Amino acid sequence: MSVLRTQVGIVGAGPAGLLLGHLLHLNGIDSVIVENRSRDYVIDRVRAGVLEQGTVDLLIAMGVGERLQREGLRHDGLYISFSGHRHHIDMADLTGGKAITVYGQNEVVKDLIDTRLSTARPLFFEAEDVSVEALESSSPLVRFRHDGADHEIRCDFIAGCDGFHGVCRPSIPEGVLTTYERVYPFGWLGILAEAAPSSTELVYTLHQRGFALFSMRSPTITRLYLQVPPDEPIDNWPDEAIWEEMLARMTTRDGWMPSVGRIVQKGVTPMRSFVATPMRYGRLFLAGDAAHIVPPTGAKGLNLAASDVLVLARALKAYYEHRRTDWLDEYSNVCLRRVWKAQRFSWWMTTTLHRSPDETAFDHQRQIADLDYLTSSRAAMTSLAEQYVGLPMEVGLDSVGLSSTPHRVS
């Protein structure tokens, strides 16, 4: 069996694990990343696409934003559509110049993997039987099999960045965590289509037939979503039926509609809100989807993963440089302040824009009134805008030795 020694063992090479690995590297802290999927699988997984201003600033300050600055699509606003009309919300105007950037999660992950490999610090793909042990000791372990051999990593700390279905959270003894959960009675059918986006900004639609979202990944690829039942088999949806439903829900009275093209990827995602507290057990720290899940309506999941690992990197830096443990102790509480605000926002976006199977006619009229108020009140639009572009990170980039200059993606 091979035994490796490192300072921080990171389980999972999604956005949380890769970002943490590089933040630690930039601060001279050693880590080993262990991922159970292949490199291609991790890069090809199509998921998030909306980066908050703070996430963009973090990636650029870390030196991994070069392609993001070249290829990312800056959006100063978004549209809310209901009763056949689109209403524009100018987020940059309402937030003093902040924006979101559309840049696929798979592109972020690709950039982070390339950067990790260039540092020559270890990153194992296709690790089997990953487990974490001795979490309460001062030398916790990550064990796995790789290329037919057993490996053991002896660490000072373990970062559980292995997503909602990973091994880290379930390794915490029963009774330690308190969990909060809401499962929604709908899911999203998402498609990627070879069609030039017919709007330069996202369009969130509440229609009689349910929610729909128009978004994009590039100047030639449109990304669209439809509300469907949570367990809807994708085979129920031939491509023509998907386009028929997309057009029925999204077309507005002024004739705007998504451009139609060849569907190159489709799938159904259930929606849930979930938080496990505290985000720490002994020397194991949970970050990102391993600790919390939001429904994708507010586009917050990847952004929360980024803000968690910034807080964790600050605490680990202070530990290694000054033997401070207070920021490690505060990690969970500091993260949860932002996590719960993002939970609230994501829940609000979801319940305001989707039709629930048990809703009454009153509920639907209230939703319309909510959207009418939202799109006609500068105060309400400002509230949405400042949450959508991202509430401030709980700790500054300077706390991990980075410049905190805001950046603009053209």
Ligand X SMILES: Cc1cc2nc3c(=O)[nH]c(=O)nc-3n(C[C@H](O)[C@H](O)[C@H](O)COP(=O)(O)OP(=O)(O)OC[C@H]3O[C@@H](n4cnc5c(N)ncnc54)[C@H](O)[C@@H]3O)c2cc1C
Write out the catalytic residue numbers: 75, 204, 296, 300, 388
Residues that bind ligand X (CB under 6 A): 11-17, 34-37, 42, 47-50, 105, 127, 130, 161-163, 166-167, 190, 269, 288-289, 296, 299-303, 305
- What is the nearest approach in angstroms of ligand X to the Cβ of residue 297? 9
Q: Are 197 and 259 spatial neighbours (Cβ–Cβ below 8 Å)? A: yes
- What is the nearest approach in angstroms of ligand X to the Cβ of residue 70? 20
Q: 206 by DSSP, 3-state: which? A: strand
Which CB atom, from 105 or from 399, has the smaller least distance to ligand X? 105
- What is the nearest approach in angstroms of ligand X to the Cβ of residue 86? 20
User: Which tokens hold the place of 269?
Assistant: 């995602």
- What is the nearest approach in angstroms of ligand X to the Cβ of residue 37? 4
In the sheet where 100-102 sits, what is the strand order? 50-51, 100-102, 73-75
Which CB atom, from 154 or from 266, has the smaller least distance to ligand X? 266
- What is the nearest approach in angstroms of ligand X to the Cβ of residue 403? 23
- What is the nearest approach in angstroms of ligand X to the Cβ of residue 267? 8
Which CB atom, from 8 or from 305, has the smaller least distance to ligand X? 305
**Distance (Å, rounded) from C-alpha 321 to C-alpha 314?**
11
Which CB atom, from 76 or from 162, has the smaller least distance to ligand X? 162
Q: 288 by DSSP, 3-state: which? A: helix
- What is the nearest approach in angstroms of ligand X to the Cβ of residue 124? 9
Q: Quote the longest CA-to-CA distance of the chain.
A: 67
Q: Are 306 and 289 spatial neighbours (Cβ–Cβ below 8 Å)? A: no
Other CB atoms closer than 10 Å to residue 262's CB: what's the count? 9
- What is the nearest approach in angstroms of ligand X to the Cβ of residue 9? 11
Which CB atom, from 232 or from 372, has the smaller least distance to ligand X? 232
Considering Cα of 113, then 118, then 120, then 121, what sign does the dihedral take? negative
Q: Are 65 and 51 spatial neighbours (Cβ–Cβ below 8 Å)? A: no
Which CB atom, from 15 or from 258, has the smaller least distance to ligand X? 15
Which CB atom, from 4 or from 359, has the smaller least distance to ligand X? 4
* Upper half-sphere CA count for residue 64 (Cβ side, 13 Å): 29
**Distance (Å, rounded) from C-alpha 101 to C-alpha 99?**
7
Other CB atoms closer than 10 Å to residue 4's CB: what's the count? 14
Torsion of CA 405, 316, 343, 167, to 10 degrees: 140
**Distance (Å, rounded) from C-alpha 310 to C-alpha 308?**
5
User: Which tokens hold the place of 379?
Assistant: 């105060």
Alpha-carbon distance values, 206 to 216, 272, 355 (Å): 19, 19, 8
What is the DSSP track for 38-97?
A: -HHHHHH-----EE-HHHHHHHHHTT--HHHHHH-EEESEEEEEETTEEEEEEHHHHTTS
Torsion of CA 10, 16, 22, 27, to 10 degrees: -80
Which CB atom, from 101 or from 352, has the smaller least distance to ligand X? 101
